Amino acid sequence: MKYHIITFGCQMNRSDSQRISTYLEENGYEEAPKEEADLVVINACSIRRSATNRIHGKINRINSREIKPTTILTGCVLKKDKIKFRHLFDHVLRIEDLTKWPLFEAKGKNYFKVTPKLEGISAFVPIMTGCNNFCTYCVVPYTRGKEVSRPAEDIIKEAEQAVTSGHKELWLLGQNVNSYKGEMSFADLLRKINQIKGDFWIRFVSSHPKDFSDDLIKAMTECRKVVKSLNLPVQSGDNEILQKMNRPYTREDYKGLVMKIKKAMPEIELSTDVIVGFPGEKERHFHNTVELFREIQFDMAYISCYSSRPQTAAYAMKETVSDKEKKRRERVLTEILKEITLEKNKKYIGKDVRVLALKINKNGKIQGKTAKNKTVIFEGPKKITGTFVKIKINQVSPWTLKGKILSK
């Protein structure tokens, strides 16, 4: 029997798909292209309306095949969509119930106890799932439920296994990693994982500014393997909008936190998430986000046009920004970001950087990342993927650095 998984959404979903793979393989399935599969699993994301629409496209195509495979919908699906999709899929199942899915004999273990089928060079290690923050625009507390932290012991064991099997980069995952509540704080968990023997990098996402403790800053500075690159979603640069989003900090708090982090780690590179066109976002509110962008000088930003989602508190708020205006605001921020990143990247010219070679890109070049998560393109033999190499940077653009291999 053959299976195929289609994954939408964030790293959390990609990580869950690795657990689904193991589970299906333990039950006698082998991975195959979707045309050959007897079982197709769609691991869904609901963060924006467009993500849900993509499920329709996929399932309609699968259902129109002459010999139709068994289909499962799982992952982040809203209540209303579960009902809507019921007639299009054979099963709509919760990821948390993976080991009790009706297709196989129930194993009764927590789905996090299933070993992930790790692929590639980077390993995802979820430390928690769910979220208690209820930002008014966000579906995650409804699709993933309340925050649940995994036992530290299980996380450390999984991290050790990933390093032993040759993974060079660990991504610790959670919707709000700094509110981790295992037997130890997130800062101490970082310290423990940093002690694992081997040459590898530790990254983590996401961090909520409200929970970013001094001890976490201290742990980041102490731990050599923890990269000095941080995603700190701000969502808006305007205090009124932040309040309406239920983000319990002000732009001043955010800037203060960034200053504290930069004082402790002057070399840190920061990225952020921003939503434009939230209900009630007027030009003056947006202007505050623009200003914040110029002040903080982010190294990367993930800019989203607001999408109204069922079940969330903001769903009841009247949409006031047209799609066209959201797109314009997105473009304005992207242009500022491009200017800033190009200027910052120019400083890399002539410098030697340590790069983790990740893959061969579509042009046959090697694509890798620096510890600070900058994409680097260079020529080299395929066999160096999965290793750290030294690259001399000789060309830059807003999103990438290009260079030549100096040594391994």
Query: Cα-flanking dihedrals φ and ψ of residue 403, to 5°?
Result: -170, -170
> For ligand SF4, which stretch binds (CB under 6 A), given 19-27, 111-119, 138-146, 370-378?
138-146
Q: At what angle do helices 251-264 and 283-296 cross, to 10 degrees?
A: 10
Task: Give me the sign of the Cα torsion angle 295, 296, 297, 303.
Answer: negative
Q: Which residue has the tokens 């040759």?
A: 166
Q: What single-letter amino acid sits at 70?
A: T
Residue 176 binds ligand SAM, judged by CB under 6 A: yes
Nearer to ligand SAM, 305 or 366 (CB): 305
> For ligand F3S, which stretch binds (CB under 6 A), given 42-50, 303-311, 313-321, 397-405?
42-50
Residue 175 binds ligand SF4, judged by CB under 6 A: yes
Residue 149 binds ligand SF4, judged by CB under 6 A: no
Residues 289-318, one symbol each (x = binds ligand SAM by CB under 6 A, - = not), give ---------------x-xx-x---------
Question: Which residues from 120-139 bind ligand F3S, rule CB under 6 A?
Answer: 139
Token readout for 67 is 């010999």
User: Taking the complex as a whole, how short is the minimal distance between the CB of residue 272 and ligand F3S, in angstroms?
Assistant: 16
Residue 47 binds ligand F3S, judged by CB under 6 A: yes
Taking CB within 5 to 8 Å according to partner kind, which of ligand SAM, ligand F3S, ligand SF4, none is near residue 275?
ligand SAM
Instruction: Indicate which single residue of 70, 133, 394, 400 sits in contact with ligand SF4 (rule: CB under 6 A).
Output: 133
Element (H or E) spanning 231, and its range?
Answer: strand 229-231
Task: Give me the sign of the Cα torsion angle 99, 100, 101, 107.
Answer: positive
Q: What single-letter amino acid sits at 14?
A: R
DSSP 349-407: TT-EEEEEEEEE-TTS-EEEEETT--EEEE---GGGTTSEEEEEEEEE-SSEEEEEEEE
* Closest among 98, 97, 8, 85 to 45, alpha carbons compared: 8
List residues near ligand F3S by CB under 6 A: 9-10, 12-13, 45-47, 76, 139-140, 143-144
List residues near ligand SAM by CB under 6 A: 10, 47-48, 137-138, 140, 175-176, 206, 208, 233, 235, 273, 275, 304, 306-307, 309
